[in-house]
Structure 1
Amino acid sequence: MQYAYPLLAIFIWAGNTVINKLAVGAIFPAEIGFYRWLLAGILFTPFMLKPVIAHWPQIRPNLGKIFILGVLGMAVYQSLAYFAATLTTATNMGIILSLMPLMSLAMAIVSLGQRLTAGALAGAVLSFAGVLVVVSSGSLGALLEHGVNLGDAMMLIATLAYAIYSTLLKKWQLRLPPLVLLYLQVLVAVVVLFPLFVASPKVGPTLQNIPLVLYACLLASMLAPLAWMQAVVRLGPSRTTLFFNLLPLITALIAAVVLNEQLAMYHLVGGVLT
């Protein structure tokens, strides 16, 4: 039963990558990014006001750090993913996203003094090679000649932003309940993304895009983080992180069924390596 928690989170996040792609043409990236966190904030608020007030003495001196975490982990990461979805495939996004644990490991070695093992080094080399295969569409010569697809580049930056977020989370060790910290970061995302939402063209809520917003809010923004937190408590951080390796495979399978995306040989090679 304890393995159900990380699997649930991974399936939801893989599905959310496909949701990013389904949102293209149905709603503008800045819209779904803002609506997602706004709705999550509204739903969380009745349950989180008392805990926030109770922990305010611990929150106040850490407001700057909480703001940085909210910008990196909620606003930048997910917003770039919505924009990336307009320019690349969900399969590519899932494979690139699987680099996150290794990016986090590299930053932990530099900033936290974590030791680099031979296994971690081998994993890093293989994962980097796998992503190179994917972003080059199996042709490194074409990559050198034309550069990285803009959508893939956005997804790489988004993944890097979340890796920095994860590293800072470990480094700062904020003494706050996980749900309180999540709620405060959601509020940061709402504030930061509001100007982009105002400046963006808008479709508005429709029967086509409302289910996408609800999935992104209720499942990807609320249920998945809660399931992941439970997984960390029950299995520990190291064992839980291993489930992240399933993300590209599950994303590719969902994308093949829902989006009819064709799996090329370079997807299979890149997915195995990462």
Structure 2
Amino acid sequence: MTTLPTYYLSHGGGPWPWMMETSRHLYRVLDASLKDMARQLGDRPTAILVVTAHWETPVFTFSTAERPGMIYDYGGFPPETYQITYPAPGLPALGERAAKLLTDGGMASATDPARGFDHGTFSLMQALWPSAHIPVVQMSIRRDFDPAAHIEAGRLLAPLRDEGVLIVGSGLSFHNLRAMRHPAAHAPSHAFDQWLQDSLVRLSGAQRNGRLLNWEQAPAARIVQPREDHLMPLHVAVGAAEGETGHLTYHEDDFFGGLAASSFQFGELAT
């Protein structure tokens, strides 16, 4: 079976795929990049492991619900967006296997049979595979936001890539909600995004890891990521493809009127 690449994807805001008629101008580029990603992957993934920025736990935890529900973890959207569903099945065996990979590697882990899909998962999955036919398992980020632990978790999960499991880190490369619509955030977002591209595409292995371990030293780091919850899924995706080349798969300079936002792929997709 082909070894699948890993991804760090900027997941956009709230339930945007269900609002394309009214917000297409905001998400047109992101939507096109995700559709292109799904086209390239084709039928290769047999399951998807989403490392979601919207689930924080003391130890890395994996969802094991057979039929996950929905978690509407956003506010201020139209009433109908609190009724949407993404009916993909879960895959308890994958959640259990992922947890065991961590435990066998000396890292504490847990499973959660009740966890539903949050918008860091269902918004991306709706854009990628609206048919909802591929099983999806969620992985939490660790509450301490330890960069080294998230990279190591990715290393331990890397064998899943040879088993048809697509590992997706779901976050947002710019995540300062208070500043998102403020022009003063534009320059910091571009400076940090350039650092991301320099670190993730031009470097790999120990050099790339070193950048991510010390991400707070990046230009405007704490302006762009005042809380690193939306960055930690990147560390897992990188750890699972540690020595492999990074590629920019989505980028725009005018996200929400002037912000820079990006997504990345790690490893090659065999043709």
With normalisation by structure 2, the TM-score equals 0.30
Higher alpha-carbon Rg: 1
Q: Which has the higher contact order (CA 8 A, sep 6+)?
A: 1
With normalisation by structure 1, the TM-score equals 0.30
Higher-helix-fraction structure: 1
Higher-strand-fraction structure: 2
